[in-house]
Amino acid sequence: MARSPRPAPALTLDSAATYLKGAGPFVAQRLRQLGIERVGELLLHLPTRYQDRRRTTPLSALNPGGEALIVAQVTGCELGYSPRRNLRVLVEADNRALLLRFFHFSEWQQRGFVAGLWVRAWGTVRHGAYGAEMIHPEYRLSESPDQLADGESWQPVYPTVAGLTQVRLRLLIGHALAVAADDPRLSEVLPGLGGPPTPAALRALHQPAAETEAAELLHPANPARLRLIREELLAHQLCMRLVRSRTRLQHAAHLPGVEQAAAVLQEHLPFVLTGAQRRVIGEIAGDLTSGRPMLRLVQGDVGCGKTLVAASAMLAAARAGRQALMMAPTELLAEQHARNLSRWLEPLNVTVGLLSGRLKAAARNAALAAAASGRIKIWVGTHALFQQQVAFQDLTLMVIDEQHRFGVAQRLALHEKARDGLAHQLIMSATPIPRTLAQTLYADLDVSVIDELPPGRRPVVTVALSNQRRSEVLERIGAACRTGRQAYWVCTLIEESEQLQAQAAEAAFRQLREELPELRVGLLHGRMKPAGKDVQMSAFAAGTTQLLVATTVIEVGVDVPNASIMVIENAERLGLAQLHQLRGRVGRGDRDSQCVLLYQLPLSAVARARLEVMRQTHDGFAIARRDLELRGPGELLGRRQTGLIGLKVADPLRDSPLIPSLQRLADDWLTHHPATARTLIRRWIGDAARYGQV
Ligand code: ADP
Ligand code: MG
């Protein structure tokens, strides 16, 4: 695409990332998916791991499954057609051969592999049908091996989305580091924080020196990382303090009738609200009649019935002629909430509207009009709402589900959707953490706990099996599905790319369909088109498909009560919190449920302990405590961080010991260094001006 010439302004950290060389509209859109709009945000997008490219490996020393950097000579290049069209490049060094294979390649690439040229390639080594191979390695060609011999260093690997390569990200972040070097605000001294100055800390993590030890790189006690962790936690503490003091001064609508609304709902429900649900509804009722904006976090284990508690408050809003909105972190979940709310509220003549990013123009315009005119009172939406020009007539209550996916900044942005003053906020989290920790992490919120599950729930029987026993598991699933039960098969893959995850799920889907030919098997992953996801989800909910192969997209909130078996492949790769969330998808109906944790040997001691915890307990709070103990303060960062409150480097559970001293520091800064506080909030959270007058 032709790019229009751009002016070349002096770039700052606030400049749009699109001004960086190499960031055209396509790249900009991908960056936006990662939450990156400005140059400064690019800097805070940190690697989740590093590749050791400091030396090359001789072809004789390659280990299947490992990553390696090799230099070898091209001896041939041909097209293969099995399993599908692919480019096969044979290379040789020291009388050893290696195959480089490409499934996506251009003619230009194909012509480049001239026999006799030397190639330097980086990739994962596999044992293929023709011996050792690398699929889609990163590579560079040259006429002589000397030009390829120069050592590289640690290569950062960033979380990314399809269409945005690691090479491109590294390039852009390199540019951003150069901008940072010239920006005085980044070198501003931050009183009381210690550690290396910000620019040095950022450089140490993005472009580690070759001498750095592998173990240091990801360790949370690495001085550079620790510095950024403390910065980020401090920024959040500052922001929450400001929000809290500001909101407490504001007025919010007086909204009575929550308990009455719950009673009305109860009349139409096939079950009785639990005591804990009623207690929390009472706490919410108190908030909504206080005249001040509610800021309440409702914590409760998976399946405790948070949605219904929120529905009671939303119904009260509708009955008072006001609007209420429920936000979900995924489209899948938003649609499910819309279905549940409709089921509960439409018999009471209350219409539920869905505002999703995927509505077609006409439907979208109709929805926007109904929101703006106030014709529809109850709304469900996704975080796509943050970006959209949605206006409400009288938004009084916002419910945010599965809050660990939202940061304080996003919650604040939502406030702006309220017509005047502030809307009441109810935040629901299924990540059980001890109340005291919750109060420090969410210093701006009041906390309620639903500590009771609906009666009659039977614990999910959990077994851990080595995947050598996969065939037994298949037999059991086949037998169970024949008796009308349904099962999830969850594929886990720790990878930076959604695309690879999708491929793994597709492969598992094909294999399971062959292994269990009598079953109707469905497939669900994050890369599917929205319509495809809908079809799959409704087919499973309706019982049309019996076995649903899925990635961890189903982790959050999915509710299909008839599904009573879950198999988690490579369960050893997941953390406890994630395993617990996944397992919470079964055990929702009235029959016995099973969860099979399939693992791959060898198991590390921590992985073994985690599986043991899952076998022994179902209590989310107990699991969270064990998670903390098992992770210990010294554990390396997982590749996939389950950010609780939208943090970038800090992990609130692991880093919670740092919080008390940072809270004191926050108080000190607000009194003595308000301008610095503003700088830090702006760096880590965004536009400080919106978050209260510092
Ligand atoms: P979570 O707290 O994990 O969001 P949900 O709100 O999805 O849980 O509720 C899980 C399931 O339990 C839903 O199918 C819901 O209808 C049902 N449920 C909620 N409250 C009760 C109750 N008091 N008794 C029985 N079932 C309930
Ligand atoms: Mg839920």
Q: Using alpha carbons only, what angle is made at residue 395 by residues 392 and 398, rounded to the nearest 5 degrees?
A: 120
Closest Cα to atom 24 of ligand 1 = 454
Nearest residue to 448 (alpha-carbon basis) of 467, 464, 435: 435
Nearest residue to 116 (alpha-carbon basis) of 86, 72, 150: 72
DSSP β-bridge partners for residue 132: 127
Task: Give the whole-angstrom CA distance, residue 35 versus residue 335.
Answer: 23
Task: Give the whole-angstrom CA distance, residue 316 versus residue 625.
Answer: 36
Closest Cα to atom 9 of ligand 1 = 305
Q: How far is CA 157 from CA 67, 110, 220, 497, 512, in A?
A: 13, 27, 17, 11, 32
Closest Cα to atom 15 of ligand 1 = 305
Note the helical H segments in 387-497. Answer: 408-415, 435-441, 470-482
Considering the domain architecture, whether residues 426 and 476 belong to the same structural domain is answered as no
Q: Parallel, antiparallel, or unpaired for β 378-382 and 486-490?
A: unpaired
Q: Can you tell me which atom of ligand 1 is nearest the CA of 272?
A: 23
DSSP β-bridge partners for residue 549: 489, 523
Residue positions counted in the chain: 694
Q: Which of 560, 586, 617 is the last residue of a domain?
A: 617
Q: How far does the centroid of ligand 2 lie from the alpha carbon of residue 61, in Å?
A: 50
Considering the domain architecture, whether residues 409 and 466 belong to the same structural domain is answered as no
φ and ψ of 357, to 5 deg: -65, -15
User: H or E element: which one contains 157?
Assistant: strand 154-157
Which CATH number goes with the domain that contains 79?
A: 2.40.50.140
Q: How far does the centroid of ligand 1 lie from the alpha carbon of residue 306, in Å?
A: 7
pLDDT value, residue 635: 42
pLDDT value, residue 633: 41
Which CATH number goes with the domain that contains 389?
A: 3.40.50.300
- Name the token pair of 429: 């989290």
Q: Can you tell me which atom of ligand 1 is nearest the CA of 300?
A: 2
Q: Which of 151, 178, 195 is the last residue of a domain?
A: 151
* Peptide bond before residue 602 is cis, with ω within 30 degrees of 0: yes
Q: How far does the centroid of ligand 1 lie from the alpha carbon of residue 355, in Å?
A: 23
- The predicted-structure confidence for 351-386, as pLDDT tens digits, reads as follows 999 988 778 889 888 999 999 999 999 999 987 665
Q: How far does the centroid of ligand 2 lie from the alpha carbon of residue 59, in Å?
A: 51
φ and ψ of 53, to 5 deg: -110, 30
Instruction: Tell me, yes or no, whether 662 lies in a domain.
Output: no
Tell which one of 268, 279, 304, 401 to mutate to probe ligand 1, the residue whose CB is within 8 A of the most ligand atoms: 304
Instruction: Tell me, yes or no, whether 638 lies in a domain.
Output: no
- Residue 588 beta carbon below 6 angstroms from any ligand 1 atom: yes
- Name the token pair of 28: 């900009």
Ligand index nearest the alpha carbon of residue 302: 1
Task: Give the whole-angstrom CA distance, residue 456 versus residue 503.
Answer: 39
Q: What is the DSSP string of 9-51?
A: PPP-TTSBGGGSTT--HHHHHHHHHTT--BHHHHHT---SEEE
CA atoms 610, 615, 620, 621: torsion sign: negative
User: H or E element: which one contains 130?
Assistant: none
Instruction: Tell me, yes or no, whether 663 lies in a domain.
Output: no
Considering the domain architecture, whether residues 413 and 493 belong to the same structural domain is answered as no
Ligand index nearest the alpha carbon of residue 308: 1
pTM for the model stands at 0.70
- Residue 587 beta carbon below 6 angstroms from any ligand 1 atom: no
Considering the domain architecture, whether residues 256 and 322 belong to the same structural domain is answered as yes
Considering the domain architecture, whether residues 428 and 305 belong to the same structural domain is answered as yes
Closest Cα to atom 23 of ligand 1 = 273
- Residue 353 beta carbon below 6 angstroms from any ligand 1 atom: no
| In contact, 324 and 377? CB cutoff 8 Å | yes
- Residue 308 beta carbon below 6 angstroms from any ligand 1 atom: yes
Kindly calculate the radius of gyration of the chain based on its CA atoms and give it in whole angstroms. Answer: 27
| Residue showing tokens 């990163």 | 138
Considering the domain architecture, whether residues 122 and 255 belong to the same structural domain is answered as no
Q: What is the DSSP string of 358-382?
A: T--HHHHHHHHHHHHHTS--EEEEE
Instruction: Tell me, yes or no, whether 672 lies in a domain.
Output: no
Considering the domain architecture, whether residues 485 and 446 belong to the same structural domain is answered as no
Considering the domain architecture, whether residues 368 and 512 belong to the same structural domain is answered as no
Centre a 10 Å sphere on the Cβ of residue 337 and count the other Cβ atoms it contains: 24
Tell which one of 336, 427, 457, 559 to mutate to probe ligand 1, the residue whose CB is within 8 A of the most ligand atoms: 559
pLDDT value, residue 130: 80
- Name the token pair of 103: 């499934």
pLDDT value, residue 575: 81
- Residue 304 beta carbon below 6 angstroms from any ligand 1 atom: yes
Ligand index nearest the alpha carbon of residue 340: 1
Q: How far does the centroid of ligand 1 lie from the alpha carbon of residue 274, in Å?
A: 10
Q: How far does the centroid of ligand 2 lie from the alpha carbon of residue 149, in Å?
A: 54
627-645 exposure pattern, b = at least 16 Cβ within 10 A, e = fewer:
bbebbeeeeebbebbbbbb
Instruction: Tell me, yes or no, whether 592 lies in a domain.
Output: yes
Instruction: Tell me, yes or no, whether 474 lies in a domain.
Output: yes
Nearest residue to 117 (alpha-carbon basis) of 84, 98, 143, 85: 143
Q: How far does the centroid of ligand 2 lie from the alpha carbon of residue 123, in Å?
A: 40
- The predicted-structure confidence for 324-346, as pLDDT tens digits, reads as follows 999 887 777 888 899 899 999 99
| Residue showing tokens 């210690």 | 194
| In contact, 344 and 311? CB cutoff 8 Å | yes
Could you tell me the residue range of the domain that residue 489 belongs to?
461-617
DSSP β-bridge partners for residue 324: 378, 397
Q: How far does the centroid of ligand 2 lie from the alpha carbon of residue 308, in Å?
A: 9
Closest Cα to atom 26 of ligand 1 = 454
Q: How far is CA 596 from CA 283, 456, 481, 614, in A?
A: 38, 22, 15, 10
Which amino acid is located at 590 in the chain? D
Q: How far does the centroid of ligand 2 lie from the alpha carbon of residue 217, in Å?
A: 36
Closest Cα to atom 17 of ligand 1 = 305
- Residue 303 beta carbon below 6 angstroms from any ligand 1 atom: yes
- Residue 533 beta carbon below 6 angstroms from any ligand 1 atom: no
Domain count, the chain: 3
Which amino acid is located at 277 in the chain? Q
Task: Give the whole-angstrom CA distance, residue 620 versus residue 635.
Answer: 21
| In contact, 499 and 164? CB cutoff 8 Å | no
Residue 467: DSSP 8-state: G
Ligand index nearest the alpha carbon of residue 403: 2
SS3 218: coil
Spacing of C-alpha 148 from chain mean position:
38
- Residue 302 beta carbon below 6 angstroms from any ligand 1 atom: yes
pLDDT value, residue 2: 46
Considering the domain architecture, whether residues 278 and 374 belong to the same structural domain is answered as yes
Task: Give the whole-angstrom CA distance, residue 402 versus residue 431.
Answer: 8
- Residue 341 beta carbon below 6 angstroms from any ligand 1 atom: no
pLDDT value, residue 548: 96
Q: How far is CA 12 from CA 95, 648, 687, in A?
A: 52, 21, 15
Q: What's the burial of 185, exposed, middle or buried (CB within 10 Å: 0-12/13-18/19+)?
A: middle
Q: Which of 617, 641, 659 is the last residue of a domain?
A: 617
Task: Write out the residues surrounding ion ligand 2, Cβ under 5 A.
Answer: 557
Centre a 10 Å sphere on the Cβ of residue 297 and count the other Cβ atoms it contains: 21
Nearest residue to 614 (alpha-carbon basis) of 638, 636, 597: 597
Instruction: Tell me, yes or no, whether 570 lies in a domain.
Output: yes
Q: What's the average pLDDT block by block, 10 residues per block, for the chain (694 residues)?
A: 54 89 89 87 90 89 88 94 88 94 90 96 86 90 83 84 87 94 87 93 94 84 93 89 79 93 94 96 97 89 90 97 90 86 95 86 90 95 71 90 64 64 83 68 82 84 94 94 94 67 84 94 86 86 94 75 92 85 84 92 87 91 78 42 60 80 94 93 72 42
- The predicted-structure confidence for 558-593, as pLDDT tens digits, reads as follows 778 889 999 999 898 888 888 888 898 898 777 889
Task: Give the whole-angstrom CA distance, residue 137 versus residue 120.
Answer: 9
- Name the token pair of 398: 């916002």
Considering the domain architecture, whether residues 440 and 473 belong to the same structural domain is answered as no
- Residue 665 beta carbon below 6 angstroms from any ligand 1 atom: no
Task: Give the whole-angstrom CA distance, residue 208 versus residue 175.
Answer: 16
- Residue 568 beta carbon below 6 angstroms from any ligand 1 atom: no
Task: Give the whole-angstrom CA distance, residue 313 versus residue 308.
Answer: 9
Considering the domain architecture, whether residues 418 and 473 belong to the same structural domain is answered as no
Considering the domain architecture, whether residues 485 and 514 belong to the same structural domain is answered as yes
Instruction: Tell me, yes or no, whether 187 lies in a domain.
Output: no
In the chain, count H helices and then E strands: 22, 21
- Name the token pair of 156: 């950062």
Task: Give the whole-angstrom CA distance, residue 485 versus residue 588.
Answer: 13
